[in-house]
Structure formats: C-alpha cells, structure tokens
Amino acid sequence: MNCPVCGGKATGKVGVDQYYCWDCCVEYKKIKDDVSIYEVDEDGSLIAYGTSEQI
C-alpha cells in the first residue's frame, strides 16, 4: 500500500486499518474509501495532518 501523502512504499501496519509511513512519518487510517491522516507528536499523540489540533 502506498502512502496517501508522499506516495512512498515504506509503509507498515500498526493497528486495525491503521498504517505508518516511514518516508514522511505520518500515520493514516483507511476505512473503505475514506482516509484520515495524522502526524505523530513528540509524546506519541496523534495530530490531524496539517493542523495543530491533537486527537
């Protein structure tokens, strides 16, 4: 599976329908055709991609 952000192939599964891209360091969740993208904060929490809002 390619990363929806950078198109890289260095991705790995980290949970149910959750993946991590080692190229651009984002985590994303794919459910059917919907993709949610998150940045991983220093403390390990997820932040919606492109915002400063923690999830």
Contact by Cβ (8 Å): 14, 1? no
Output DSSP code: residue 54: B
Confidence band, pLDDT 50/70/90 cuts, at residue 51: low
Q: What whole-number distance in Å separates Cα of residue 55 and Cα of residue 46?
A: 5
What global pTM score does this model have? 0.81
Quick: pLDDT tens for 9-46: 999 999 999 999 999 999 999 988 899 999 988 898 99
Two tokens at 46?
A: 């997820």
Amino acid at 1: M
Two tokens at 6?
A: 């950078």
Two tokens at 25?
A: 């360091």
Determine the pLDDT at residue 33. Answer: 86
